[in-house]
Structure 1
Amino acid sequence: MKSSSRYLIPLAKPITVVAVTLGSTIFFILLLSQPKNPPSPSQGSMMARSFVLWLHGLGDSGPANEPIKGFFTSPQFTNTVWSFPSAPSNPVTCNNGLVMPSWFDLHEIPVTAASPNDENGVLKAVGHVHKMIDKEIAAGTNPDNIFVCGFSQGGALTLASVLLYPRTLGGGAVHSGWVPFNSSIIEQIPPDAKKTPILWSHGIVDRTVLFEAGQAGPPFLEQAGLSCEFKAYPGLGHSINAEELRYLESWIGARLRSSS
């Protein structure tokens, strides 16, 4: 596939549409993420410390996603710590072995409900995410106020990370992601992890991670004993829109614990 020169520097090898659409996603967010009424420090003084960890998609970076927090203007987020880590650079099979930011290997595009998974790579990345969560808990954040969110490959890693974490977290939000392992992983899900609520958002006309891959998520989670709220967005491709992020703000806000 041809890359877009609008958002990407031309490369010697072809790059898949994932990186192209991620670039347009962040461009879209940059245009819309200016908060109109920033909360004053006093408004959120009763809120306990909370933590939102955002995991980007293939070929993207953590800093490029930081404008996302501009949507979270409620006073409830005054004491929220945000983290936007970047994936390590690795060769990616679906991009002809091109080395790029990737949490784990990706074998094919588009991703379908039956696509092969790099389960060993996923588990290695999960260990990295768990260390970040452990560090935040050690800093004093209640696990109930910790939320892991991600887009595309980051959404798949979000799902894996919250399912395999040994404690109940505030929630996990999967945007345009997929289930990155087979059903045998269900036996490894800790009992407390099954209490973590999941929000799954997916564009119906997604041509990179097909809608069918997203639809496979809720049945998998139901089989594993978890609750999941699934939201389908008509007309949305492989990207995040303002409606999704505003709903995510309210979804997380409804689950935040106060200092009392």
Structure 2
Amino acid sequence: MSQLPECVEVGPADAQYSIIWLHGLGADGHDFEPLVPELGLTDRGVRFVFPHAPVQPVTVNSGMAMRAWYDIRSPQIQQDEDRDGIQASQAILEALIRREVERGIDTRRLVLAGFSQGGAIALHTGLRHNEPLGGILALSTYLPLVSTFEQEREPTNQHIPIFMAHGKSDPIVPLWLAEDSRYFLEQAGYSVDWHTYAMQHQVSLDEVSDIAAWLGHNFA
């Protein structure tokens, strides 16, 4: 079993729902903590789990060590992908899912969420998980390792709710790459709730409102 990372947690110990939310490159588990009150889920028994990614060198940042879910080897982030790093973070997320189950959470009441790199790991893991999950929230991100997706995906989550959102002027993860991921998933039979916003590589107030509505519907 993968070692569990340190996590920031917000919400009740006796939660009925869980959201495991992965931050982006160079951030940490505190990054999305301030968003919790804005989502209006405080009375729903939702526990937010914000893990810290491992610290590791990142090639495109001159090998500087920082919190990262996997290495980025090229400015074209979909090229020369770090398969080993992605799969290592998949194992971390799977371990966090198991811990939530051990704490009494039904996997159908568990959402995987993430921003940028974190969203890539949420998509990658959620669509390969062998138990039914409550949803995937993928922000400013893309689907990695598409070349092996068909043989690795798990039919159990064929109908999982997927929320994807992206900035129209994102200079980090270009909009076309996210759109390609959306199209790929739709061609594979998944239903994607797709949103774009007038922003760059960030989260906007309108986006937060749409996320809150989507989560509220899932956790009704």
Once residues 223 and 50 of structure 1 are traced to their aligned partners in structure 2, the CA distance between those partners, rounded to angstroms, is: 30
1:236 is matched with which residue: 159, 182, 199?
199
Matched, 1:210 2:177: no
Structure 2 counterparts to residues 1-260 of structure 1, below 5 A: 49-74=16-41, 77-109=43-75, 111=77, 114-233=78-197, 235-256=198-219
The letter for the 2-side match of 1:56 is H
RMSD: 1.7
Structure 2 stretches lacking a partner, 5+ long = 1-11
The letter for the 1-side match of 2:21 is W
Question: After superposition, what is the alpha-carbon deviation per residue over 1:83-104, rounded to whole angstroms, capped at 9, x for unaligned?
Answer: 1111000010111111100011
Judging by fraction of residues, say which structure has more strand. 2
Does the 8 Å CA contact 1:160/1:180 hold for their aligned counterparts? yes
Question: After superposition, what is the alpha-carbon deviation per residue over 1:28-62, rounded to whole angstroms, capped at 9, x for unaligned?
Answer: xxxxxxxxxxxxx9xxxxxx700011100000000
Once residues 109 and 249 of structure 1 are traced to their aligned partners in structure 2, the CA distance between those partners, rounded to angstroms, is: 32
Does the 8 Å CA contact 1:110/1:208 hold for their aligned counterparts? no
* Aligned pairs, number: 207
Judging by fraction of residues, say which structure has more helix. 1
Q: Secondary structure at the match of 1:148?
A: strand
The letter for the 2-side match of 1:191 is P
Structure 1 runs of 4+ with >4 Å offset = none
Q: Secondary structure at the match of 2:123?
A: helix
Instruction: Give me the identity figure in percent.
Output: 30
Once residues 131 and 153 of structure 2 are traced to their aligned partners in structure 1, the CA distance between those partners, rounded to angstroms, is: 10
Q: Secondary structure at the match of 2:158?
A: helix
2:3 aligned partner: none
Once residues 232 and 115 of structure 1 are traced to their aligned partners in structure 2, the CA distance between those partners, rounded to angstroms, is: 24
Once residues 93 and 159 of structure 2 are traced to their aligned partners in structure 1, the CA distance between those partners, rounded to angstroms, is: 19
Once residues 97 and 248 of structure 1 are traced to their aligned partners in structure 2, the CA distance between those partners, rounded to angstroms, is: 34
Give the CA deviation at 1:182: 2.4
Structure 1 stretches lacking a partner, 5+ long = 1-40, 42-47
Once residues 185 and 75 of structure 2 are traced to their aligned partners in structure 1, the CA distance between those partners, rounded to angstroms, is: 24
Q: Secondary structure at the match of 1:106?
A: coil
Q: Secondary structure at the match of 1:251?
A: helix
Does the 8 Å CA contact 2:44/2:219 hold for their aligned counterparts? no
Does the 8 Å CA contact 2:93/2:125 hold for their aligned counterparts? yes
Once residues 95 and 55 of structure 2 are traced to their aligned partners in structure 1, the CA distance between those partners, rounded to angstroms, is: 19
Which structure is larger by alpha-carbon Rg, 1 or 2?
Answer: 1
